[in-house]
Amino acid sequence: MNQKPFIALDFPTWEMTSTFLDQFSESLNVKVGMELYFQNGPVILEKLLNKNHRIFLDLKLHDIPNTVYGAMKGLAGFDLEMINVHAAGGSVMMEKALEGLHAGTPANHKRANLIAVTQLTSTTEEHMRKEQLIPIPLHESVLHYAALAREAGLDGVVCSPLESHLIKEHCGNDFIRVTPGIRLAEDHLGDQKRVTTPEMAKDLGSSYIVVGRSITSADNPVAAYERIVHDWEGKE
């Protein structure tokens, strides 16, 4: 898989998605999340694959192990690059997710990378303390989840760019760090709390970045994408 940024296709319809994608002349790394998938179904994956885009399916599965096994087994039938679960679902759930992915991946196909969401990039330490009743520093919780995911055999985690370095140190460089929460210096934060620029994300040890609104809400999405790629790849 190339290391180009994944564009978060957070659109409600296929029409809006394809209008957006038609502005680009190349096949892209794209992220399909809940908004697009739940309103349009698996057919959206076929449509993107037909246009040669590479997909990170970001459904953040979190349920009892048996249910996650079944869901993963079904989703493994699509030619996905990456798929994820919430680490908060626990070690057994993560192990079953991986088993399901193995079981459902067609022969001669590469299994999608399975990564775990640690703490969402919209979560703050105060939120963790008051709402999750977790009285430890946020980075400790993220590291704990990353270690659990690694022990369960997963390929990496979704985390804030601010945590990639620590995870790389503890879990090794091969353990993938996918980081949303990316903004160009002049952009609005929106609901994200723990953000960096693409350049900083590279410096801090991200393996892949995910960028949504900085591209999809830009006046010129192609120019914004190119600037982000330049920022990101300029650091290689």
- Residue from 7, 29, 33, 48 in contact with ligand C5P (CB under 6 A): 33
Please, which residue, 105 or 121, has the CB nearer to ligand C5P? 121
Residue 86 phi/psi, 5-degree rounding, is -85, 130
Please give the Cα distance from 145 to 118 (Å, whole number).
6
Please give the Cα distance from 35 to 52 (Å, whole number).
21
Determine whether 202 is an active site residue. Answer: no
Specify the stretch interacting with ligand C5P by CB under 6 A; choose among 141-149, 200-208, 209-217, 218-226. 209-217
Please, which residue, 33 or 198, has the CB nearer to ligand C5P? 33
Give me the long-range contacts of 20-24 (CB less than 8 A, separation at least 24): 20/216, 20/221, 21/51, 21/53, 23/221, 23/222, 24/222, 24/225
Considering the complex, what minimum distance in angstroms separates the CB of residue 28 from ligand C5P?
Answer: 15
The sign of the torsion formed by the CA atoms of 43, 69, 12, 227 equals negative
Please give the Cα distance from 139 to 125 (Å, whole number).
9
Residues within window 79-108 making contact with ligand C5P, judged by CB under 6 A: none
- Residue from 11, 180, 198, 206 in contact with ligand C5P (CB under 6 A): 180
Please return the burial class of 20, using the count of CB atoms within 10 Å of its CB with bins 0-12, 13-18 and 19+. middle
Q: Which residue is nearest to ligand C5P (CB)?
A: 212
Considering the complex, what minimum distance in angstroms separates the CB of residue 9 from ligand C5P?
Answer: 8
Please give the Cα distance from 30 to 70 (Å, whole number).
24
- Residue from 116, 211, 224, 228 in contact with ligand C5P (CB under 6 A): 211
- Residue from 44, 58, 85, 199 in contact with ligand C5P (CB under 6 A): 58
Please, which residue, 105 or 118, has the CB nearer to ligand C5P? 118
Q: Count of residues binding ligand C5P (CB under 6 A)?
A: 18
| First-last CA distance in the chain | 16
Judged by the rule CB under 6 A, the positions of this chain that interact with ligand C5P are 8, 10, 33, 58, 117, 120-121, 158, 180-182, 190, 192, 210-214
Cite the active site residues: 60
